[in-house]
């Protein structure tokens, strides 16, 4: 069908709007062709319209219930719309229809992770790699699951394998840079984000990561301005203290300068453009900037094994209650459910329940 072929070619060329026009002609010529509706769903995914993608995928499933691709697309759309259980069921159906299709297990891994079956998600990702070890996407999905499980070294290996199979995979390069960032290699992470941006300049995910890491320099500038203003206010009343404050401001500004010099020219230009766009535009202001500089105690807290963190949280809360330290009772009381959740997730990863998904034998 010429219209369908043209639509597929336009999708490959990342021209989804034009592809939709051609696929509309193909659907009008043969409204019973499930493949056309699957391609329509892909076009809507490219445009970010997940509701329309689900409608097209549902139509494809209705026309050909045995087409595993349609069920996979339906699972992805349902997951994007927050309908996690339905997404998992659709992914399971796709795996049932074609148990040898590696991509079906990649979708299943994503949906299992979203529904809380983290052990099953890891099983599904590993099964996808076993079915298609030569496909970069299987290793990328395994890396994503491992990263979510905080197994950074294994995730790094998975993403490196994906890049060895497909050096032009900007998503794998971006995710490898995220791993580097979490391992404390900020310079290496920034280089990776910049390389991913060169591979796909239109990727909003990569752009956000570049701005998040590079934007740290803006945080130092704000602290520098704050201490400098403080120093001006105390200049005549406490000259010695103002000198110290000016020195602290200078240190923050020096750190900012060093960080900016490490960035490439295009990245610095992107940061300047982003700062101009945010200026006098309250809807674009980032009110979360104070969280960019995590204190040492916060970093150490995340390094503590979840069960230990839960016990420490509970012991500290009991001590705060006994001492009538109401501020800390509130703080630790709010933190307790999060500590419990982290401990529960940690336990379930190593001890999956009966309902956890298991990979079929190869």
Between CA 164 and CA 176 the distance in angstroms is 12
Mean per-residue pLDDT of the chain: 89
More confident residue, 350 or 72: 72
Q: What is the per-residue pLDDT for 72? A: 97
For the chain, percent of residues with pLDDT exceeding 90? 62
Please give the pLDDT value at position 215.
Answer: 73
Phi, then psi, of 33 in degrees rounded to 5: -85, 110
Q: Is the pLDDT of residue 68 over 80?
A: yes
CA atoms of 112 and 104, how far apart (whole Å) = 12
Distances (CA, A) of 87 to 71, 186, 315: 9, 35, 40
pTM: 0.79
The per-residue pLDDT for 294 is 57
Does 132 have pLDDT greater than 90?
Answer: yes
User: Which percentage of the chain shows pLDDT scores above 70?
Assistant: 95
Q: If you average pLDDT over residues 218-245, what whole number do you get?
A: 90
pLDDT at residue 73 is higher than 60: yes
pLDDT digits (tens, 9 = 90+) for 267-324: 888 777 777 777 777 766 666 666 655 555 666 677 788 999 999 999 999 999 999 8
Report yes or no: 197 and 210 within 8 Å, Cβ to Cβ.
yes
pLDDT score for 111: 96
pLDDT at 1: 55
Q: What share of the chain is helix, strand, coil (3-state, %, to 5)?
A: 80, 0, 20
Residue 235 has pLDDT above 70, yes or no: yes
Question: Is pLDDT larger for residue 1 or for residue 14?
Answer: 14
More confident residue, 304 or 45: 45
Residue pLDDT, tens place only, 190-214: 889 889 988 888 888 888 888 877 7
Is 60 exceeded by the pLDDT of residue 91?
yes
Domain boundaries 133-202, CATH class: mainly alpha
Residue 336 has pLDDT above 80, yes or no: yes
Look at the chain and count its residues: 362
**Annotated domain spans of the chain:** 133-202, 217-292, 296-350
């Amino acid at each position: 069908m010429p219209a369908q072929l043209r639509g597929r070619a336009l999708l490959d060329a990342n021209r989804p709007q034009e592809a939709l026009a051609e696929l509309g002609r193909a659907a009008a010529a043969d409204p019973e062709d499930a493949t056309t509706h699957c391609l329509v769903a892909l076009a809507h995914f490219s445009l970010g319209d997940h509701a329309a993608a689900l409608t097209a995928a549902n139509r494809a499933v209705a026309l050909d219930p045995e087409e595993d691709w349609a069920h996979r697309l339906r699972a992805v759309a349902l997951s994007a719309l927050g309908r996690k259980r339905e997404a998992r069921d659709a992914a399971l159906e796709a795996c049932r229809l074609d148990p040898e299709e590696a991509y079906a297990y990649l979708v299943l891994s994503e949906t299992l992770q979203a529904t809380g079956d983290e052990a099953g998600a890891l099983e599904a990702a590993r099964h996808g790699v076993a079915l298609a070890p030569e496909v970069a996407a299987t290793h990328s999905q395994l890396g994503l699951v491992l990263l979510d499980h905080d197994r950074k070294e294994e995730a790094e290996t998975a993403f490196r394998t994906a890049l060895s199979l497909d050096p032009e995979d900007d998503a794998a390069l971006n995710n490898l840079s995220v791993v580097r960032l979490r391992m404390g290699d900020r310079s290496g992470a920034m280089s990776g984000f910049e390389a991913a941006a060169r591979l796909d300049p239109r990727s909003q995910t990569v752009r956000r990561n570049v701005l998040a890491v590079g934007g740290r320099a803006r945080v130092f500038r704000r602290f520098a301005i704050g201490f400098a203003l403080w120093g001006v206010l105390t200049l005549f009343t406490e000259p010695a203290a103002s000198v110290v404050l000016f020195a602290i401001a200078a240190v923050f500004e020096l750190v900012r300068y060093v960080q900016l010099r490490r960035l490439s020219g295009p990245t610095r230009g992107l940061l300047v453009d982003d700062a101009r766009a945010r200026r006098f535009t309250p809807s674009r202001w980032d009110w979360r900037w104070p969280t960019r500089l995590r204190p040492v105690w916060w970093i150490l807290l995340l390094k503590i094994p979840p069960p230990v963190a839960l016990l420490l949280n509970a012991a500290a809360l009991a001590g705060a209650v006994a001492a009538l330290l109401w501020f800390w009772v509130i703080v630790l009381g709010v933190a307790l459910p999060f500590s419990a959740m982290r401990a529960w997730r940690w336990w379930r990863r190593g001890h999956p329940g009966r309902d956890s998904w298991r990979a079929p034998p190869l």
